Amino acid sequence: MTTLTSLELGMASGDIPGLMGLAFRSVMDTVHEKLAEQGFGDVRPAHGYVFQLLSNTHGSTAVEIAAHLGITKQGATQLLAELEDRGYVRRGPHPTDRRARIVTLTERGWACVAAVVAEWRAIEEGWAALVGRENLDAMHAGLAAIVGEASKKGPIMLRPLW
């Protein structure tokens, strides 16, 4: 009996969503290898979803982060304590709600985000060299159309699938 790898299964069945998942996994593995080389070896994939939110909102509460991650406020608070201990985020007074605390990225957090963005760009350039810029641009347009259509049902959030 022959055992097929995940890649062979995706390619054999014409499973585009499966291939997209494998491509995403490959990107995340590469990004985390590069982050470790740059001194960010303590970052886990779940942290990236927090960084993604904070870099786009320039600050969020633990409740907002919990909703973004699809976890409890207690779980988010625990994750934020870990990130704060590692120097990636800081918690401070909320500008409009005295009961809440606002979480923002520190200089180290922003440096990690910048390293991820640079690595994503390098990966995309590698893909362009592999399949051609025109094909990559067409893939981007196609995926953007698919996501745009799916988002008509409601917001789509990129978060861990705990």
Report pLDDT digits (tens) over 16-26.
888 998 999 99
pLDDT of the residue at 98: 87
Query: Closest Cα partner for 49 from 21, 80, 18, 72?
Result: 80
Residues 6+ apart with CB under 8 A from 40: 111, 112, 115
Number of H helices, E strands in the chain: 7, 2
Contact between residue 91 and residue 101 where contact means Cβ atoms under 8 Å apart? yes
Residues in a beta bridge with 14? none
Interatomic CA distance for residues 97 and 103, integer angstroms: 13
Dig out the tokens for 64 from the structure.
């907002």
Dig out the tokens for 9 from the structure.
């299964």
Query: Closest Cα partner for 45 from 21, 29, 66?
Result: 29
Higher-confidence residue: 154 or 107?
107
pLDDT of the residue at 14: 65
In a domain, 93, yes or no: yes
In a domain, 54, yes or no: yes
In a domain, 18, yes or no: no
Structural domains in the chain (count): 1
Torsion, CA 79, CA 82, CA 86, CA 92, rounded to 10? 70
pLDDT of residue 83 exceeding 80, the answer is: yes
Which CATH number covers residue 38? 1.10.10.10
In a domain, 45, yes or no: yes
Torsion, CA 6, CA 9, CA 10, CA 11, rounded to 10? 120
pLDDT 10s digits, 115-124: 999 999 999 9
DSSP 39: T
In a domain, 8, yes or no: no
Q: Domain containing 55: what range? A: 24-116
Contact between residue 69 and residue 52 where contact means Cβ atoms under 8 Å apart? no
In a domain, 86, yes or no: yes
pLDDT of residue 13 exceeding 80, the answer is: no
Q: SS3 for 70?
A: coil
What is the average pLDDT score of the chain?
A: 90
In a domain, 151, yes or no: no
In a domain, 63, yes or no: yes
| pTM of the predicted structure, to 2 decimals | 0.84
